[in-house]
Structure 1
Amino acid sequence: MQDMSGKTVLITGPTNGIGRATAVNLAKAGANLHLLCRNAAKARTLQEDLRKVNPEIEVEVLLCDLGDFASVRQAASAFEAKGLALDVLINNAGILNTKHVVRPDGIEEMFAVNHLGHFLLTHLLMPALLRAPAARVVVVASGAYLMCKTLRLDDLAWAKGFRPLKAYGHSKLANILFMRALAKRLEGSAITVNALHPGEVTTGLGRQNGWWVSALHRLASPFFRNPNQGAATSLYLAMSPDVEGLSGEYFDDCKVEVTKPWGADMNMAEDLWTASEALVGGVPSLFNSKAEVPK
């Protein structure tokens, strides 16, 4: 395992499944961890567990609801106040709703949490990433993007035709397109950004939706990867020297995978970027042009 001693890593959604496995392995590797979590009790339990895994590391909790942009701003501000260099940002958190849930601002919840919250968080943490000598942004996307060939920027509430898996795939397509647009803006900088498909993993994703979803998970679990297997590509992108300097790619099983054309549509990626800036209430001006990114 790559030595991460002295490195600072922030990971979203680390209390369950892939996120927890990722955090545990990073702790074993010696990384100082900042856990961005929605549930305070689960966060404190994980914090204690990680300190037992490696008593030498720092483990801090940042409470945040990624679907609440004021909450995202508060969490990012709390981290920035530490003045740390952020070596790795892992945008791991994700939700899968089987019911149609619209946030108070009129945005379908999976899109708000899975994409917009991370879009805003990444912007707000960019000064910390720029302080690191060679930072990495790791975006946990999904092969579910295959279910949605285009973005519904004209109906982000999904007022028409809501289908759970298609809406989930919509948010995962947004993850990949955000990665593409961010990598383009970061060309020539010391920051890389890549996305990944973790595989079909036995996690708690979607189980809040009812007994039948939990039953489905139990029936299908023999065919799924376990969380440690699912975390392998996240850890590879966060730690491996093999991907040093590599940016703008989509990975599966620790290998670059060519997406379908809509996963690399830069026109759609730019439309998403413009819409996302407005939807989160504005972002720092660092990315208005590539020329403004510090080299």
Structure 2
Amino acid sequence: MTESILAITGPTSGIGRATVKELVHDFDRILLLARNLKKAACLKKELLDVNPKVKIELIECDLSILTSVRQASHTITYKYNHIDCLINNAGIVKTSRRESMDGYELMMATNYIGPFLLTHELLPIIMNSERKQITVVSSGAYKFAPMKKPFFKPKHFNPISGYGRSKLGTLYLAQELYEFYSRKGLRVTAVHPGAVSTNIGKDNVSKQLADTIFNLLDPFFVSVEEGSQSVIKAVRQPEKYAGFYSDQGEIAAVKQYGSDFKMRREFIDATLKELDLQAL
């Protein structure tokens, strides 16, 4: 029997941590793609305490840095010929403007560009697995703002629209994957798990701005355990959720900007050009 392998980004805190702890018995091997290897090592010990039989590998990966994503992908594809399930979980919220090392707005870089590149690099070995599954953690925040040029290096920064567009991008990614690869057996789900409130408001901004952002995002806040359940359901029930948008565990229609096929096509094409790729 082929060894079952899960790869997950952002596993050391929040929803990612709760998700991987719940799935520790579901796979033979788990690849933890993390920025902080010290935290990942602590998580590895916890996971092995729960399931001593599972194999855990730590992969250093900062999704905001393209070279880090490429190195992590190379490490994985060199060692393994298949991955059964990829969970694109990692994400950030920033209340003040930051840029990645590659010059992109940081939320767009971390939440979308990095995961897009990682998915592209790992897709051949995902398609080489028996399970062929990708779960993309998006957000209901995709409704906050339409996609707008310049896509990756906006002239003006707004934390609400910036976060929303980065999550709209992840939704477009899931839709694109399903459209082009579902006929080859790939099962893709975009999940809105809710957002954990402690992930926001830590930047050095005025209390008034932080409170405004918090209030706008508050409807999306859930506990870590609640948020992880929607991801876990998608992973454990791929046939039920494949090709759908899951809103906290319930299949829901995609609304507003998420249904703009023309903009999705333009945005994905711009991403491919930016990353010098021919296809996803």
Judge same fold: TM > 0.5, yes or no. yes
Q: 1:53 to 1:84 in 2, by over 3 A?
A: farther
Q: Give the letter for the 2:134 counterpart.
A: V
Measured in 2, the distance between the counterparts of 1:139 and 1:155 equals 20
Counterpart residue number, 2:200: 206
Mapping for residues 1-295 of structure 1, pairs under 5 Å: 6-148=3-145, 150-154=146-150, 156-160=152-156, 162-202=157-197, 204-206=198-200, 208-210=202-204, 224-240=221-237, 243-244=238-239, 247-280=242-275, 282-283=276-277, 285=278, 287=280
Instruction: Report the Cα distance in structure 1 between the residues aligned to 2:184 and 2:36, rounded to whole angstroms.
Output: 35
Measure, in 2, the Cα distance between the counterparts of 1:155 and 1:271.
Answer: 10
Instruction: Give the aligned residue type for 2:127.
Output: L
Q: Distance in 2 between matches of 1:224 and 1:107?
A: 26
Q: Distance in 1 between matches of 2:56 and 2:50?
A: 11
After TM superposition, the structure 1 stretch with the greater mean CA deviation from structure 2, 171-180 or 150-159, is 150-159
**What are the superposed Cα offsets for residues 188-247 of structure 1, whole Å, 9 maximum, x if unpaired?**
111111101112434x42354259669x98xx99x953211101111111112xx32753
CA distance in 2, matches of 1:155, 1:118: 16
Structure 1 SS opposite 2:148: coil
Partners of 1:28 and 1:146 in 2: CA distance: 35
**Distance verdict in 2 for CA 1:103–1:53, change over 3 Å:** same
d(CA) in 2 for partners of 1:210 and 1:256? Answer: 37
Give CA deviations for 1:154-194 in whole Å, capped at 9, x if unaligned: 2532222x211211011001111111111111131111111
Residues 31 and 166 of structure 1, relative CA distance in 2, 3 Å threshold: farther
Provide Cα deviations, 1:89-144, integer angstroms capped at 9, x if missing partner. Answer: 00000010111012243311100110010000001001210111231100000111
For structure 2, list consecutive stretches of 5 or more residues without a partner in the other structure: none
Q: Give 1:6 deviation, angstroms.
A: 4.2
How many Å separate the matches in 1 of 2:184 and 2:151?
A: 35
Which runs of 4 or more aligned residues in structure 1 lie more than 3 Å from their structure 2 counterparts after TM superposition? 28-31, 210-214
Partner Cα distance (1:137, 1:286) in 2: 17
Q: How many percent of aligned residue pairs carry the same amino acid? A: 32
Q: How many residues align?
A: 272
Q: What do you get for the CA RMSD once the two structures are aligned?
A: 2.4
Distance of aligned partners of 1:257 and 1:132 in 2 relative to their CA distance in 1, 3 Å threshold: same
> 1:170 is matched by which residue type in structure 2?
R
1:6-35 deviations in Å (ceiling 9; x for gaps): 421000001101000001001143442101
1:136, 1:193 within 8 Å by CA — same for their partners in 2? yes
**TM-score using structure 1 length:** 0.85
Q: Is the 8 A contact 1:146 1:169 kept in 2?
A: yes
- Uncovered stretches (5+) of structure 1, i.e. residues with no partner: 288-295
Whole-angstrom CA distance in 2 between matches of 1:121 and 1:246: 22
Whole-angstrom CA distance in 2 between matches of 1:136 and 1:166: 29
Task: State the SS of the aligned residue for 1:174.
Answer: helix
